[in-house]
Structure 1
């Protein structure tokens, strides 16, 4: 997964249990916890931050980053209080699954735009699929949920955001490593320092890669010599596909489906992490959400949305691969549902 933030708390993949309900809508939901209060932000010392940046510059030069890159990357950089506030808040974690799904991720507008862009980029997506053997529908869905198909890639300077988070101290070692990875990207000429913009946590471009993931997984699909996930649609979508290929995507397999549990199922009694053949679920009385017979397919686990009102899914291996891109279960389910609708 793209290790950069937590959109919603993950729920473990769960298995079958025993108690009483015929349809997902009647499965009793777990109580919704109250969101945690954001931690206070201490006063910012510009002197301390400037001293920290001087140390980073010195280490960057020792790592082989050019002086020109160091100068350009840190021009005008200051400790960003808003970045610290957002890091402490993580407000999305309190959203119920149904609001997250219907109001934010799998909206009619996002579906319609995804369908249009799927058609418009059919040739590019076909070539990407041929190279990486990853479903073009999931590529488009990731593109849609991460940045609204490239329309919202973030307004923070990546170097400033990462420097702030590396200095602030809560996850200093992680963000310090990401900061040096970002400087390397600039030094290699993939993007100019002033164009390197992204999320408050340093996630970049149309696929929202962290710099360390860029270094390992971004690709130059259009062949111009740069891995440009900001302005090259081919590089951005190709990089998403490469990420999934490297993380074990199984060609031709579904991510999963919404399902109707048998009588005797409760959320509280669900067995965790068990995987079973689909025919075993069918024998136990599981059906599709519409009440039909389950399709044949690879082994599956019961998947329960976090803070949900009773919707239940059967998830295959590829759902776990989506979670390697971003780990919260609700994120992965939203990607799966959107992918079913865009292609």
Structure 2
């Protein structure tokens, strides 16, 4: 299903070659399609395949014809997909932009305003009100911006891109089923560049599975009905496995000499074991004596805040697979509920460019470490490889690519081909 963008460099070389021939003698040449035309041809071919997929999945042929017949390729969607904030921002910037005083105060005001609507949802689904308000704040700034991009255009563009083709193809099929159900159509289904919709930014699959009608008008309208939006979000989190009366996690203090190989969501230990290892809350008190399994995460490395996270943190990540996002939801919920600032401010390192991460991945691969694909995404395997290198060198093995760590790497790994610490993508 996936298609690849044309080879623009090869195209340019070919055009230059033709230009030389045309200057030499007036030979009749059939013009080749322009790059945009070639791209459109490939996109049209992909759309035709998607139409066949939709028909094979028993989606109404009239819906397939009218909706997929109207879609357009959106280059901006691919650009945004490659430049998601989780890929380029530091935790310092990410958290500061999303959990700020204005959003906290607005969240507290709206919590009071909608408390009578939210409290019954806590009783029914187990989700405390401050979490629902926090999701609302992060997803759409409390409903002030629901997204203006055409969802079917965006999903089709992403389905025809190789990076996550199957995921977005499935979401496109679900969006077509929403059209079948009369929820919206090509002209009215608006949302984010990735296809998320409504006050809580549900993807089409989540919309179909979890959206509920709570205001009695016989339709689940996540764009215009707050009762529907809040109830659907509570239902979604409940179905993801939210545990009642349990928080998402908490900021903690790590003991001197902590082994950062134990940090990461892939390491699970009973809370009692973390206590035995000397981890305390930020005030130095022992962690609660509860029969819980927890993980330790350090999103800014050893110089930044540390957290123990519980099962509900994983539930938040079922909504959005970014650790930064899940931490922002948890911290914003705490602040809305009257909690204080983090005791440790994340270090203000420069953001990572795509070229920087690719250089690190390539250099680590040459040094014999397994980083997975050299894709410019600083994911779990790259972190693990960096941690292994740090440990072998006697550095603090926190797997965090700080400014200091970059300087250390430049001293021991093959040189970067170009400067990569500018404020923009190369």
TM-score of the aligned structures, taking structure 1 as reference length: 0.79
Q: How many residues align?
A: 303
Between the aligned partners of 2:286 and 2:163, the Cα distance in structure 1 is 50
Which of 322, 326, 329 lines up with 1:335 in the alignment? 329
Between the aligned partners of 1:210 and 1:260, the Cα distance in structure 2 is 37
**Aligned-pair CA distance for 1:74:** 4.3
Distance verdict in 2 for CA 1:129–1:167, change over 3 Å: same
Aligned to 2:118: 125
Aligned to 1:206: 199
Between the aligned partners of 2:295 and 2:53, the Cα distance in structure 1 is 48
Which of 168, 191, 194 lines up with 1:175 in the alignment? 168
Further displaced range: 157-166 or 60-69: 60-69
Deviations 1:147-167 (A, max 9, x none): 211222222100001111122
Which of 75, 80, 89 lines up with 2:83 in the alignment? 89
**Aligned-pair CA distance for 1:304:** 2.0
TM-score of the aligned structures, taking structure 2 as reference length: 0.65
Aligned to 1:111: 104
**Aligned-pair CA distance for 1:315:** 1.4
CA contact 1:41–1:84 (8 Å) conserved in 2? no
Relative contact order, CA 8 A, sep 6+: which one is greater? 1
**Aligned-pair CA distance for 1:209:** 1.6
Between the aligned partners of 2:335 and 2:241, the Cα distance in structure 1 is 23
**Aligned-pair CA distance for 1:335:** 0.8
Aligned to 2:297: 304
Between the aligned partners of 1:333 and 1:92, the Cα distance in structure 2 is 12
Equivalences for 1:166-315 in 2 at 5 Å?
166-268=159-261, 270=263, 273-278=267-272, 280-308=273-301, 309-315=303-309
Q: Secondary structure at the match of 2:269?
A: coil
Q: Secondary structure at the match of 1:194?
A: coil
CA contact 1:83–1:165 (8 Å) conserved in 2? yes
**Aligned-pair CA distance for 1:259:** 0.9
**Aligned-pair CA distance for 1:339:** 0.8
Distance verdict in 2 for CA 1:294–1:52, change over 3 Å: closer
Q: Secondary structure at the match of 1:162?
A: helix
Deviations 1:218-240 (A, max 9, x none): 22222322121111111111111
Name structure 1 gaps, 5 residues minimum.
Answer: 1-38
Larger radius of gyration: 2
**Aligned-pair CA distance for 1:68:** 5.3
Distance verdict in 2 for CA 1:173–1:270, change over 3 Å: closer
Between the aligned partners of 1:100 and 1:190, the Cα distance in structure 2 is 33
**Aligned-pair CA distance for 1:323:** 1.4
Q: Secondary structure at the match of 2:260?
A: coil
**Aligned-pair CA distance for 1:321:** 1.4
Which of 108, 116, 127 lines up with 1:134 in the alignment? 127
**Aligned-pair CA distance for 1:91:** 4.5
Aligned to 2:318: 324
Between the aligned partners of 1:246 and 1:69, the Cα distance in structure 2 is 30
